[in-house]
């Protein structure tokens, strides 16, 4: 068995075009042959079957071999993508059930591009992680050598800007080299399709395209036999970034909201618009006179913000956006401002992780900031802190921030409907459509109730914005992992920088009335109920343990009780459910109405659990109900963790 492994590893190393990767793999083979158990385990990991497209594309540790992010894998993936694009752009919207039906499938990796093929244009962007720039230039070289036109950002770029550029420049696809918020040793490869593909139009790829590209990678042959041009691509300058920034400025001013709009929208939640004629509902905002007023520069300038990009690429773009929107009192965490691929001040560069925002919160206390805003390293996520009761800075969860931004989007829509704004300013929805807010199935249903009471539709999808962004007439979408799509017309993906500007706008409107984001959450809860969520994450060194645990959970005897509460309903998404395509997830409901979803992470070796509970508001104060719900979820999470560890120990 080891001889087969050594043979496969030697063959890969002999054809690895990157001398450093080749040297590392050969050294690993040598140590494994000499009897090092650690080296053999590492070699086995490197030589596992090739990477597949997960929730956010290819993502893995930077290491040699088919199971790592490295030059050879980037070459093979880009050659496969080029092959699919050449046929897709030439033949229009085409997605065969079997890759063997791919037109021109007999062409091999050494064949020069046919000059009669339609030219395809590919945006290529990259973050500031180790090797990201090299991977991006390699991808540009493969696109160029394959007959396409590569449009490469000339410096590290936030992922939302790349998604914006794909639509803005009317390109056919985009490649983004990023591992987002993963640990420093990881990197990744995301793919978006343009409008040539039905449902593409600036969105991340979904099945069957991910499988088609993967199968082409398997057929690519050795990486050193694939042509990589040393030059010939085109560079994208700062004008695209400037257009992206101006788009956010325009969105915040069309319409520009006042607190009166917020108050009226809250009042309509109490009236429950779902019981009235939805066609006449927007007219209930006609007494509001501020919907198209110019932004209040002076008011926004009074909001004090602490910002951190967590050593990522968001600072220059996000700070400029906030400043141009009128938020001038911004204090950046200096030690985290510049890109640093080692992320030296945090254990994990993920704003969800405990301790990641400690420096930002410390600075907020020193300067008496109103809110804290953090982007993850590629700036597609946004984390927010705000002062709560007693003036203490507290971090909002993704579900809490998602509900606030959803309410903000709904309020904007209702004002815009009265003014008959054009879809250019409003997202995917037109006036004739039923505007929809969207969440992932692991996120809180709080936004569903807000939408229902506002007279709008809500929808639920699988995890990932490749699914969320595809819902017809979407005006806003989010998932609990700090991802928010606030301007789907321009960026059909999560965007941490537009979310930052919009949450700052909400905080500004509230500050003028002596209120905070936490006060708004309480007001929403009074009308809609107290919705609380709590995550539970288990990290694993081996993904096989995750697979075994999921298999056991699918067993009828897996978990039948959580504490004193029976599991009364179970949904297995493995083979699909309703309109959902298959997904490796299990949903459980308890006898007291709790909802628990368990799934492996699509980007890291983690098992993620999402716990939700609801408390309906009666005469009990909202703060008391919230405290009771949080305590209940904490007990539930502890019980679930004990159950999972018990199952794991029995495997």
Instruction: Assess contact for 438 and 470: CB atoms under 8 A.
Output: no
Q: Enter the tokens of residue 59.
A: 């993502």
Exposure string over 459-491, b if 16+ CB within 10 A, otherwise e: bbbbbbbbbbbbbebbbbbbbbbbbbbbbbbbb
Q: 3-state class of 556 per DSSP?
A: coil
Instruction: Assess contact for 277 and 486: CB atoms under 8 A.
Output: no
Strand segments (E) across 217-288: 234-236
Residue 430 annotated to the active site: no
Going by C-alpha positions, the residue among 62, 64, 71 that lies closest to residue 43 is 64
Q: Which of 82, 132, 180, 458 is catalytic?
A: 180
Count the alpha carbons within 13 Å of 568 in the hemisphere toward its beta carbon.
9
Instruction: Assess contact for 485 and 469: CB atoms under 8 A.
Output: yes
Going by C-alpha positions, the residue among 461, 571, 544, 481 that lies closest to residue 206 is 461
Question: Taking the CB of residue 517, how many other CB atoms lie within 10 A of it?
Answer: 23
N- to C-terminal Cα separation, the chain? 25
Q: Write phi, then psi, for 78 (nearest 5 degrees).
A: -70, -35
Instruction: Assess contact for 26 and 13: CB atoms under 8 A.
Output: yes
Going by C-alpha positions, the residue among 120, 131, 114, 152 that lies closest to residue 70 is 131
Instruction: Assess contact for 263 and 181: CB atoms under 8 A.
Output: no
H-state helical runs in 513-621 = 517-528, 543-554
Instruction: Assess contact for 411 and 502: CB atoms under 8 A.
Output: no
Residues 6+ apart with CB under 8 A from 215: 80, 99
Instruction: Assess contact for 451 and 457: CB atoms under 8 A.
Output: yes
Using N-to-C axis directions, what is the helix angle for 496-511 and 238-252, rounded to 10°?
Answer: 30
Going by C-alpha positions, the residue among 394, 333, 343 that lies closest to residue 363 is 333
∠ CA(68), CA(77), CA(101), 5° rounding? 130
For CA atoms 160, 161, 164, 165, give the dihedral sign: negative
Q: How far apart are CA 490 and CA 425, in angstroms?
A: 9
- For the chain, the residue count is 651
If 0-12 CB within 10 Å is exposed, 13-18 middle and 19+ buried, where does residue 8 land?
Answer: middle
Q: How far apart are CA 205 and CA 207, in angstroms?
A: 7
Any idea which residue has 């507290």 for tokens?
Answer: 394
Q: How far apart are CA 395 and CA 452, in angstroms?
A: 27
Catalytic residue numbers read 180
């Amino acid at each position: 068995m080891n001889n087969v492994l050594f043979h496969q590893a030697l063959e890969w190393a002999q054809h690895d075009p990157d001398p450093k990767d080749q040297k590392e793999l050969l050294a690993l083979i040598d140590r494994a042959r000499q009897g090092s158990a650690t080296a053999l385990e590492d070699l086995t990991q490197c030589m596992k079957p090739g990477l597949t497209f997960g929730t956010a594309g290819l993502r893995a540790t930077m290491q040699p071999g088919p199971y790592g992010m490295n030059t050879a894998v980037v070459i093979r993936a880009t050659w496969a993508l080029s092959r699919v694009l050449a046929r897709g752009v030439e033949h229009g919207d085409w997605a065969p059930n079997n890759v063997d039906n791919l037109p021109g499938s007999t062409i091999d990796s050494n064949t020069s591009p046919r000059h009669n093929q339609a030219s395809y244009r590919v945006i290529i962007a990259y973050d500031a992680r180790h090797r990201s720039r090299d991977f991006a230039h390699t991808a540009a070289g493969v696109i160029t050598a394959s007959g396409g036109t590569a449009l490469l950002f000339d410096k590290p770029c936030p992922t939302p800007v790349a998604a914006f550029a794909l639509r803005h420049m009317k390109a056919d696809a985009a490649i983004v080299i990023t591992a987002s918020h993963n640990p420093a040793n990881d990197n990744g490869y995301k793919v978006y399709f343009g409008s040539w593909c039905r449902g593409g139009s600036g969105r991340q790829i979904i099945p069957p395209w991910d499988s088609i590209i993967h199968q082409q990678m398997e057929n690519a042959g050795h990486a050193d036999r694939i042509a990589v041009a040393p030059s010939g691509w085109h560079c994208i300058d700062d004008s695209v970034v400037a257009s992206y920034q101006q788009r956010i400025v325009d969105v915040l001013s069309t319409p520009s909201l006042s607190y009166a709009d917020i108050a009226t929208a809250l009042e309509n939640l109490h009236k429950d618009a779902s019981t009235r004629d939805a066609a006449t509902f927007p007219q209930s905002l006609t007494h509001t006179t501020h919907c198209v007023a110019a932004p209040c520069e002076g008011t926004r300038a009074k909001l004090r913000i602490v910002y951190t990009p967590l050593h990522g690429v968001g600072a220059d773009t996000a700070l400029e956006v906030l400043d141009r929107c009128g938020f001038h009192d911004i204090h950046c965490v200096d030690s985290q401002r510049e890109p640093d691929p080692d992320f030296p001040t945090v254990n994990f560069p993920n704003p969800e992780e405990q301790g990641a925002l400690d420096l930002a919160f410390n600075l907020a206390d020193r300067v008496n900031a109103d809110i804290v805003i953090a982007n993850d390293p590629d700036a597609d996520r946004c984390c927010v802190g705000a002062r709560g009761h007693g003036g203490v800075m507290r971090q909002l969860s993704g579900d809490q921030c998602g509900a606030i931004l959803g309410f903000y989007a709904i309020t904007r829509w209702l004002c815009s409907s009265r003014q008959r704004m054009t879809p250019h300013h409003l997202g995917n929805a037109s006036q004739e459509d039923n505007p929809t807010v969207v969440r992932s199935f692991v996120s809180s249903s709080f936004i569903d109730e807000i939408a229902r009471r506002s007279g709008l539709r809500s929808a639920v999808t699988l995890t990932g914005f490749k699914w969320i962004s595809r819902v017809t007439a979407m005006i806003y979408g989010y998932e609990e992992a700090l991802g928010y799509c606030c301007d789907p017309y321009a960026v059909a993906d999560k965007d941490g920088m537009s979310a930052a500007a919009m949450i700052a706008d909400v905080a500004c409107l509230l500050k003028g009335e002596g209120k905070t984001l936490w006060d708004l959450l309480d007001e929403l809860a009074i009308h809609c109920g107290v919705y609380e969520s709590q995550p539970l994450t288990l990290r694993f060194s081996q993904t096989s343990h995750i697979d075994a645990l999921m298999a056991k959970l699918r067993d009828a005897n897996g978990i039948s009780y959580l504490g004193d509460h029976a599991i009364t309903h179970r949904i297995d998404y493995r083979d699909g459910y309703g309109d959902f395509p298959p997904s490796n997830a299990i949903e459980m409901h308890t006898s007291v109405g709790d909802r628990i979803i368990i799934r492996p992470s699509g980007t890291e070796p983690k098992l993620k659990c999402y716990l939700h509970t609801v408390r309906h508001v009666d005469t009990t104060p909202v703060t008391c109900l919230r405290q009771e719900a949080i305590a209940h979820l904490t007990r539930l999470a502890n019980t679930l963790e004990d159950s999972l560890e018990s199952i794991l120990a029995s495997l």
